[in-house]
Amino acid sequence: MAYKFGFIFLKGLSQDLESNFSYSFNNNVRFFREIPPIDATRWQEWLGLQWEDVVTSNAVIEVKTETQAPNVLDNENEDLKFTCRELWLSLMLVMPCYLENAYFLTGGESDNRIEVRQFFKFDRWFNLGKDFVQTLVASEISKWKDIFLSLDEVYKKKEDFLRLKRGLLCFLKGCSESNVSFRLPYFVRALEALIIPDKGKTTKQFQSRVAYWWISSKQNKHFPDNVPKTLEDIYDLRCKFEHMHVLATKDMDMSILSSYRCEVLARNAYCDILIDDKKLNMFICDDSIKEFWKTK
């Protein structure tokens, strides 16, 4: 039996999971802790300076599919790569994890011999500090699976969910952006993709509509009780960044916290939509999104 494969090797993610932990998303997607058997000589030759990062990983995502051409880099590998990107994005949507490294490899396997054909490093998630990250635990894996399966269906519909997809791209960019002056605007854009604010009403509608997802964050110690004022401050700070104004000291002091709050709100919003089929269908196009907000 011959296979094409896609691997993501992760480090720093799963300290609370047992070393033999394994979870299947479906027939060809699996998440596990133990590094698969590696031909050290060949892999070190392929990976070069990244060899140590890969072999010291503490978790692996594996995507495999049967093939007639294991030694050819083709559309099957591209499909596996895209699936791995969906898994990567859906993991970001589960919680703010801290990852030291994440590497993608694709290739073929026949007669228990693995040949790597392509390799790259994912953008590192920016770490705001230990107080703002979580560790993935076994109870969260099923949520990750649900989000991944929903994302997979969304991306199969090439002409639908265009605004949702653009918002997800902004969320992805925000997670890997280390400069808070750009990080916060990405997360605001991710939310604006979902609320379609009217011209001249952007601040007020950002306040009222994003508040819809605030309840999911109310137990978070970094979220105050004054919802409208906090959302107004986030949007005002975003506008100052976008228009290149010189920030006051108090704005600089609040920028990281505001960025974190907006990231959590964006994560809550996309998870809420993706795991609810009825709600997801309301975000299929601009007209249906506008109808959604008429009922809120």
Residues 281/198/175/123 CA torsion (nearest 10 deg) = 80
Domain ranges of the chain: 2-121, 159-294
Residue 88 pLDDT greater than 80, yes or no: yes
How would you label 116-142 residue by residue, b for 16+ Cβ within 10 Å and e otherwise? bbebeebeebbebeeebeeebeeebbe
Q: Which residue has the tokens 């001249």?
A: 200
* pLDDT value of position 186: 95
Better-scored residue on pLDDT, 221 or 29: 29
**Burial of 68 per CB tally in 10 Å (0-12, 13-18, 19+):** exposed
Contact criterion met (CB below 8 Å) for 164 and 273: yes
Residue 231 pLDDT greater than 80, yes or no: yes
DSSP H or E run through 174: helix 162-176
Mean pLDDT (the chain, rounded): 87
Residue 12 pLDDT greater than 90, yes or no: no
Q: How confident is the model at residue 269 (pLDDT cuts 50, 70, 90)?
A: very high
* pLDDT value of position 21: 87
Q: Which residue has the tokens 């790597």?
A: 116
SS3 label, residue 103: strand
Q: What phi and psi, each to the nearest 5 degrees, are found at residue 66?
A: -65, 150
Contact criterion met (CB below 8 Å) for 239 and 115: no
Q: How confident is the model at residue 164 (pLDDT cuts 50, 70, 90)?
A: very high
* pLDDT value of position 158: 95
Is the torsion defined by CA of 142, 101, 124, 166 positive or negative? negative
SS3 label, residue 272: helix
Closest-CA residue to 164 (of 194, 144, 197, 195): 194
Contact criterion met (CB below 8 Å) for 274 and 180: no
How would you label 173-212 residue by residue, b for 16+ Cβ within 10 Å and e otherwise? bbbebeebbebbbbbbbbbbbbbebeeeeeeebbbbbbeb
Better-scored residue on pLDDT, 85 or 214: 85
* pLDDT value of position 18: 80
* pLDDT value of position 55: 87
Residue % of the chain over a pLDDT of 90 = 47
* pLDDT value of position 248: 67
* pLDDT value of position 23: 92
By mean pLDDT, which of 145-149, 181-185, 205-209 is the weakest?
181-185
Better-scored residue on pLDDT, 244 or 277: 277
Q: How confident is the model at residue 176 (pLDDT cuts 50, 70, 90)?
A: confident
- Condensed to tens digits (0 to 9), the pLDDT of residues 235-257 reads 988 888 877 766 666 666 678 88
* pLDDT value of position 14: 52
Q: What phi and psi, each to the nearest 5 degrees, are found at residue 32?
A: -155, 165
Q: What phi and psi, each to the nearest 5 degrees, are found at residue 204?
A: -65, -40
The answer to whether the predicted template modeling score (pTM) of the entire model surpasses 0.85 is yes
Closest-CA residue to 149 (of 277, 292, 21): 277
How far is 154 from 285, CA to CA, in rounded Å?
Answer: 12
Residue % of the chain over a pLDDT of 70 = 91
- What residues contact 208, with CB distance under 8 A and at least 6 apart? none
Q: How confident is the model at residue 62 (pLDDT cuts 50, 70, 90)?
A: very high
The Cα-based distances of 247 to 84, 229, 243 in angstroms read 39, 19, 11
